[in-house]
Each structure stands twice: as C-alpha cells, then as structure tokens.
Amino acid sequence: MARLDYVNARLAARRRRLLGAPGLRELLALPTLAARIELIRQRAPGAALPEELGPDPIARIEAALREGWRREAAELLEDAEGRRVRALLAAFIALGEAPAVKAVLRGVAKGLPPDQTVAAAPPAPGLGDAALRAAASADGLEAAIESLAAAGSELAAAARNQLAPPASAGLLLLEIAVDRAALARARRACRRRGEDAALLLRRVEDLADARNAATLLALGGAVPEEDLFVPGGRRLGEPLFRHLTGAPVPALRAAIARLFPVGDGALASPWAADRALESALAAPLRRQARRSPLSIAVALSYLADRAAEVRRMAVVLRGAELGLEAAEILDLVEA
C-alpha cells in the first residue's frame, strides 16, 4: 500500500467543507439567485467562481465548479507520492470521462440545447467546457463523436466504431461502448499488486455492475439483438444478466434492488435509477476510506463526492430558477 499521509490528511479537512445535504437545503431556501450566488461565494466551492458571471450566471457557475474539480484532481495527482499510486489515481480520475461523453451523446441525440447538454455533463479530466460545448453543438451523433475525438477523448473512438453498422439498440449501444472502453482502460491499471490496486479494481467492478443494471432497466424487458453485457463485475455476472434480460419490469427492478441494494421504487425512471445506483456505489467507497485511512480509497471517495457536489449544486440552482417544487429538487439531490 502506498503511503498517502500528506494527501489524505489534506482531504480529511477538505471533506468537512463539502456542502452536504444541510448546505444544499440552505442554498435552496434562499429567495433569489443573487442570494444563492453570494452563499456559494462564502463556501469552499465559491473559490472557483470568477468575479463577473456574465449574462448566463448559472452556466458560468457550473463551468467554474467543473473546472474547480479538474484543478483539484490535478493537484491531488501531483501531490501523490510514487509512480504506482499516481498511475492508479490517474486511472480513477480518467473514469470521469465516460459520463461526460455519454451526457453529450444523449443531449445531441435528443436535440437538446448545448447549454442544457453541457449542464448535464459531470466534470471530466481533459474535456473542458469549451470542448463539451463544441461537441454538444454538433449536427448529429457522428459529428459530436468526431468533435470529442478531436478534443482528445480516447473514448470517442469506441463510440465511433459503433456508428457504422445499423444497431437496434441505438444510443444505448454507443453508451455501452464508451463504458466498456473506460472500464477496460481502468482495469489495465489495476494489474499492479497491492491494496490500492485492489481498491481501484473493486470500484471498476462496481461500475461494471451498475452499467449492466442500467442496461437492463433501459431495455425494460426487451431482448436486444446485440450483445450488451459489460464484463468485469462481481455481483451481476453474465449468467444473471442473461437470465434477467427479458424479465418483466417489476421482477427486474426487484432483482436489481436486492443486488445493490436500493429501493425498487428508486428505479422507476432513468434519472432516479442513475442517482440510486450512484449512491449505492458511493457508500462502499466511503466505508473503505474509513477502514483504510492511509490508502487510495480516501482520495477516490473524496473525488467522487466532490463530483457529486458539483452536480447537486447545479440541480439546485437550475431547479430553483425553473420554479420546481423544493421537495422535488431535494429529492433529485438526495437532500
């Protein structure tokens, strides 16, 4: 196990500054956007905000928060001691590319405005907001993929390979190709021996399981022609995946709820299912960070929670401006 005393000690202090559910509720309770911006400036995330926010302050705040996550991830990587641990941290950070690429593909496929598409993208290494916006503004999926590839996304090539043949699974097949490539890349970094490599591998296994669960939910009982299974998980292996493919939706949701576990009611919509699976995967990371305070788990857990904080703050700001009910917003951000 690599010693991460310096980095982990700093992260313990930073974790206490995460906004958390109480902070999100306080943010939502304020009556105006100006008041919410002022509160953000007073808290730790506000350090990333520029003085002038321009004509679209929410978009500027979201961009600044994502860039703050990228800078912090880069700082942690630089401060980590030892080539092996830096390679493992870099592999974990690179996993953030997949959800950002998928968010862009979803937005382009649905014809969403670029601002809305970029807002849905989590912070990702190597893909700044300018690159995300350029891809989100592309005319069609092929152009979006080429734009991401030109910006340096290794995962865009995996999606490009699925564009040529006609596919009944459509966008789902592209997303699975992106996840397969991202998880295979991270798994290669886990070939090293030691506790830290084992911890990262467990995270990769969890993400493979979550991908397969999300695929089954997206199919909704249909049996696809394509092979949509992503290997590498530990709780949702290929035999069980094949067994659940085509199962009635209530039975499918109940089976997935037992595997993670989450309430099967939380799996009723794609958005809710994504959030429920994300929460189910965050808890083991936090437990491992407490059990192994000198391990890489501390950094992995912190970076995952920081990325979630960026997303939740964006949901609160946009939801409040759209006039959504407070209870609905708090449910979306699990606060």
What's the pLDDT at 46? 84
Contacts 24+ apart (CB under 8 A), 70-76: 70/123, 70/124, 70/125, 70/128, 72/303, 72/306, 73/123, 73/125, 73/303, 74/125, 76/7, 76/11, 76/299, 76/303
Q: What is the pLDDT of residues 222-272, one digit of tens each?
A: 888 888 999 999 999 999 999 999 999 999 999 999 999 887 778 887 778
How far is CA 189 from each of CA 75, 95, 305, rounded to the nearest angstrom? Answer: 20, 12, 22
User: Model's pTM, two decimal places?
Assistant: 0.90
HSE-CB of 170 using CA atoms within 13 angstroms: 8
pLDDT band at 335 (very low <50, low <70, confident <90, very high): low
Which segment, 46-55, 60-69, 267-276, is predicted with the most confidence on average? 60-69
Question: Does 206 have pLDDT greater than 90?
Answer: yes
Q: Which residue is it, tokens 């990702």?
A: 124
What three-state secondary structure class fits 123? coil
Looking at domain 1-79+309-335, its CATH architecture is Orthogonal Bundle (1.10)
Indicate the domain borders of the chain: 1-79+309-335
Q: What is the pLDDT of residues 167-178, one digit of tens each?
A: 445 789 999 999
Percent pLDDT > 70 in the chain is 97
Distance CA 133, CA 119 (A): 10
Distance CA 111, CA 190 (A): 38
Q: What is the pLDDT of residues 129-169, one digit of tens each?
A: 899 999 999 999 999 999 999 999 999 988 888 876 444 45
| C-alpha 116, offset from chain centre | 16
Question: Which has the closest alpha carbon to 215: 248, 244, 193, 186?
Answer: 244
What's the pLDDT at 102? 95
DSSP letter for 234, please: S
What's the pLDDT at 89? 94
Taking all residues of the chain, what is their mean pLDDT, rounded to a whole number? Answer: 89
